[in-house]
């Protein structure tokens, strides 16, 4: 039994700056899967990237650190994290969604 299961958290992250058109979402999917974080990522029409990430607090903190600074081509100007209160949907994997 995974000890993190009881401490599953879901965070909604908005990343503003130079984060579209540089492979940021694809890299985000690879990083999330490497960290065993589930959820999704998508571009927004305002030029930002939005991600719903789910995992343990430690996993999500690592994912947020990557979203802020992990891709050299990205220029993150603003970073917002909102904790999603339970109950929330359970994600089985991490995917890229169509732009919104």
- Please identify every residue annotated as catalytic: 25, 43
Q: How far apart are CA 82 and CA 33, in angstroms?
A: 21
Parallel, antiparallel or unpaired: strands 94-96 and 75-84: unpaired
Residue whose C-alpha is closest to residue 99's, from 47, 58, 57, 30: 47
Q: How far apart are CA 32 and CA 87, in angstroms?
A: 22
């Amino acid at each position: 039994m995974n000890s993190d299961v009881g401490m599953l958290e879901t965070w909604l992250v908005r990343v503003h700056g130079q984060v579209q058109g540089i492979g940021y979402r694809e890299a985000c999917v690879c990083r999330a899967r490497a960290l065993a974080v589930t959820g999704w990522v998508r571009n927004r029409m305002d030029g930002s990237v939005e991600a719903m990430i789910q995992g343990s607090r430690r996993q999500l903190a690592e994912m947020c650190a990557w979203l802020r600074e992990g891709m050299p081509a990205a220029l993150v100007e603003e970073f917002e994290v909102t904790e999603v209160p339970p109950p929330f949907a359970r994600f089985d994997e991490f995917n890229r969604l169509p732009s919104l």
